[in-house]
Amino acid sequence: MKSATTARITAPGDVTSFNLGLALPLGVAFAIFFVLPLAQLLYLSLHNDTAATVWGLGQYIKFLTDPFSLAVLGSTLLLGAEVTLACLVLGYPIAWLYQRSGSRLQTLIIMIVLLPLLTSVVVRTFAWIVILGRQGIINSVLQSLGLIGTPLRMIYTQGGLVAALAQVQMPLMVLPLITAIGRIDPNLSDASASLGAGSWRTFFKVMLPLSMPGIIAGCTLTYAAAITAFITQSLVGGGQMLFMPMYLYQQASTLQNWPFAAAISIIFLFAVLAIVALFSTLGRRARGYGDAR
């Protein structure tokens, strides 16, 4: 404490070392509980046999040459893309509405948006099973209205899963969008209109590019959350659809093939990182990224 105070007095410009000191507790926790296990995972994945005694790239070769594994990876990334798109398309109007509402309506919108985060993921997921099931709310309503004869198959379908995941991840999309849209000067859309641009032109030429930072942040968060949502994927998706988290779980827990599970983790990690990198590159490409910081 004393030395820190002294350092501040003698060298007021040098605050870097002081700040690093403050970051130390988190840094240590991060190293022990994140970097170390990750390194262990990498170490494990570089072995050819289940007992992890023979070094080699066998697990990676196995995954990347196996059509089944690649299909699981592909469908997981596709699921993420679908959920992200659904959140963006449904979330943008909500964020837009929020910025144009009075304070009371704003509170209500925020409450509704945040509600999924305040309930347990298991409860939320079972709620979706109740809603989407064969004898679920939607089917019984449609049947009693005479709109359908036999129940629709919604649970255990990709569509049902996307809907459930989109609802759960919606706050991750809407909150960054609200921030980004709120930073746009309202005069800009008036200026655009006065210069002769219609509402669609104003939206695509002014509002959308300027809300890009929020779109990028929202998409990144939603995507990462959707593809790793183990519980929702398993319960709403059911047994027929296999995604990376479940695949990984089966390999590690059921088959006890730890090196292969580790390799799946590493591949999955890099696939996600690649997508995130792609998002932020797109964001930097879209001009205005630097403005609405």
Partner 1 sequence: MASVSEAKSLVLDRITHRFASGTMAVSDINLDVKGGEIIALLGPSGCGKTTLLRIIAGFIGQSEGRVLIGNDVVDALPPNRRAVGIVFQNYALFPHLSISENVGYGLAARGVDKTTRNKEAQRLLDMVQLGPFGERLPRQWSGGQQQRVALARALAIKPSILLLDEPFAALDKNLRLDMQIEVKRLQRMAGTTTLIVTHDQEEALSLADRVAVLSHGHLEQFGTPSEIYDRPQTLFVNTFVGTANRLKGTVMATDAGEVKVALEAGGEIVARAPKPVTASNKVTVCLRPEHLAFVSDGSGFAGEIGMALPLGATVVHEIKTKDGSSIKISQARTGDTPLREAGAPVRVAPLAPGLATVFPE
Q: Least separation, in Å, of the C-beta of 287 and partner 1?
A: 5
Give the whole-angstrom CA distance, residue 31 versus residue 25.
10
- Which sign, positive or negative, has the C-alpha torsion 81, 85, 86, 91? positive
Q: Which residues 6+ apart lie within 8 Å of 119 measured at CB? A: none
Cα angle value 52/65/76 (rounded, 5°): 90
Residue 104, exposed/middle/buried by CB under 10 A (0-12, 13-18, 19+)? exposed
Task: Select 58 or 288, whichever has its Cβ closest to partner 1.
Answer: 288
Q: Least separation, in Å, of the C-beta of 290 and partner 1?
A: 9
Which of 70, 205, 270, 273 contacts partner 1 by CB under 8 A? 205
Q: Which residues 6+ apart lie within 8 Å of 109 measured at CB? A: 94, 97, 98, 101
Which of 49, 115, 185, 270 contacts partner 1 by CB under 8 A? 185
**Contact of 276 with 223, CB cutoff 8 Å:** yes
Asked whether position 105 contacts partner 1 by CB under 8 A, the answer is no
Which of 120, 144, 194, 240 contacts partner 1 by CB under 8 A? 194
Task: Select 69 or 192, whichever has its Cβ closest to partner 1.
Answer: 192
Asked whether position 292 contacts partner 1 by CB under 8 A, the answer is yes
Which of 25, 198, 239, 285 contacts partner 1 by CB under 8 A? 198
Asked whether position 206 contacts partner 1 by CB under 8 A, the answer is yes
Task: Select 161 or 210, whichever has its Cβ closest to partner 1.
Answer: 210
Q: Judged by CB under 8 A, how many residues of this single chain contact partner 1?
A: 21
Residue 53, exposed/middle/buried by CB under 10 A (0-12, 13-18, 19+)? exposed
Asked whether position 8 contacts partner 1 by CB under 8 A, the answer is no
**Contact of 148 with 139, CB cutoff 8 Å:** yes
Applying CB under 8 A, which residues contact partner 1?
185, 187-188, 190-198, 201, 205-206, 209-210, 287-288, 291-292
